[in-house]
Amino acid sequence: MELGLHFGALAPSISEQIKVHLNYADDEIEQFSKLGQEIIELYVCDIITDSEKTKACNRLMKKITKYLNNLDQI
C-alpha cells in the first residue's frame, strides 16, 4: 500500500490524513502531526528555507513510514 501525505499550512494534520487512509491513530501519530506543524511554522516565519523545509518533511516522512511499517510486523 502506498501512502501519500501532504505537508502545508492548509493541509489536514498528519494524524487526520493517516486516520482517513489507514483508520489508525495513536499518541505517536499525534507527535508526528505536531512535528509537521512545527516544520511549517518555521518555514512560514522565515526561519528555515524552502530546501530546509523539504529536507525536514522528507526526514519526517521517513520516520512516519518506518513507524507504520513496524506496526505491520506486529
Exposure of 10 in the CB half-sphere (CA atoms within 13 A): 0
> Residue 2: which residues within 8 A CB-CB, separation 6 or more?
none
Domain range summary for the chain, segments of one domain joined by +: 49-74
**Predicted local confidence at residue 8, as pLDDT:** 84
Q: pTM for this structure?
A: 0.79
- Is 13 in contact with 7 (CB distance < 8 Å)? no
Query: Which ranges of the chain does DSSP label H, i.e. alpha helix?
Result: 14-22, 27-44, 50-73
Per residue in 5-18, pLDDT (tens digit) is 888 888 888 888 88
Per residue in 1-58, pLDDT (tens digit) is 567 888 888 888 888 888 888 878 788 899 999 999 999 999 999 999 999 999 999 9
**Predicted local confidence at residue 1, as pLDDT:** 56
